[in-house]
Structures are given as C-alpha cells and as structure tokens.
Amino acid sequence: MTPFLGEFPQAVVLCKEIHMSKERGGSLIFLAAGIYGLIFSIGLPLGRWNEPGPGVFPLGISILLCIFGISWFIQGKRKGEKRKTISLGGFVRKFITPLRIVGLTAAFILTLNLFGYLLASTLYIFVLFFWVSRYKLWTAFVLAIAFGAGSWLFFEKVLATPLPRGILPL
C-alpha cells in the first residue's frame, strides 16, 4: 500500500465500491454537457420574468442535464447485478429501431421544404407512431393529425414563426 492511501483507509474502501457501468458512463456525459452549458449560459442575459432573455433556456437545460446526470450516476447499476451477454443477432435487433428513427428523421428533413411543415410533420409522426412504435392505425392517424396540426397552429399562428409551406397553399 502506498503511504498516502495507507493513511486514509476509508478512501480505499470508497474507491473499491464505485462500479462503472454504461449507465454511469452515460450519466457522466450528461453531467459534463450540463456543466459545459452552465459555464457558457451564465454569461447570457437572463432578462426579467415577463421578458425572459436568451440565457433562460440554455441555463434551464444545463441545470436539468446536471440534475439528471448526478441522479443517474447515483442510481447506476449496482455491483451485485448480473452482467448480460448478447449474441450478434440480438445486437443487430437492438439497433433496428434507432436506425428506423434516424432514417425517418432524415426523410423528414429532406422532404420538409418540398411538402411543407404541416404535411411533412404529420406524415413523419404518423409513420413514427405506426411503423416504429407499433400503434394501431387509427391511433397513429389521430395522434399524427393532432400533433402535426397542433404544432403547426402553435408555431405558425401563435408564435408567428414562418414555416416551410411546400405544396399546400396555407
């Protein structure tokens, strides 16, 4: 034992109890992103309660990232939990859903200007619910209409944000 650590046996015990897992590694990434965001968002003006400045959103997101990063690190897999092994087929099956989402999102981005926000977002949400999440046809259809039209109304009419119009004359 080194003389330094020999003087503090409780430090040796604490270091032996920390088990790094995927969950804890991911939580450290969240924590690092939160600290990075905190450092740069503190310099932005926060504004007032009735007129928030540009620093409110990044500061809020950074605080949430730090809180979740710390809590996920604490809740990370315990040392006694069993480690799972996965076959190559299981490994490929785990990545089918993320690949579907990435492909759909790429198609949404590429068709946004052509179809316009209202049509492209409604189709994107419908296919996401029906194909990826496996909702029933009518449930996916109703949710897609509600979220697509609702987000279009909110951004276009309430916030007066110009959105791509596409082929629909809205």
Mean per-residue pLDDT for 42-46? 87
Mean predicted confidence (pLDDT) in 72-80:
71
31 and 7 belong to one structural domain: yes
Please give the distance of CA 101 from its chain centroid, rounded to a whole number: 13
Tokens, residue 16: 């032996």
User: How high is the pLDDT of residue 13?
Assistant: 47
Q: Is residue 47 part of a domain?
A: yes
Higher pLDDT, 31 or 86: 31
Domain boundary pick from 75, 98, 124: 75
Count up the domains in the chain and report the number: 2
Mean pLDDT of 31-58: 88
**141 lies in which domain range?**
88-158
27 vs 68: CA distance, rounded Å: 7
Using only C-alpha atoms, what is the Rg of the chain?
Answer: 24
Domain boundary residue among 75, 105, 124? 75
Q: 71 and 7, same structural domain?
A: yes
Lowest mean pLDDT among 7-16, 54-63, 86-95, 134-143: 7-16
pLDDT at 115 over 50: yes
* Same domain membership, residue 53 and residue 21: yes
One domain, residues 105 and 151: yes
DSSP code of residue 79:
T
The domain boundary, picked from 54, 75, 96, lies at: 75
Does residue 154 belong to any structural domain of this protein? Answer: yes
Check whether residue 61 and residue 123 sit in a common domain: no
Taking the C-alpha atoms of residue 170 and residue 168, their distance in angstroms, rounded to an integer, is: 6
Predicted model pTM:
0.54
100 and 147 belong to one structural domain: yes
Furthest CA-CA distance within the chain: 78
In this structure, of 36-40, 88-92, 141-145, the range with the lowest mean pLDDT score is 88-92
Whether residue 167 lies inside any domain: the answer is no
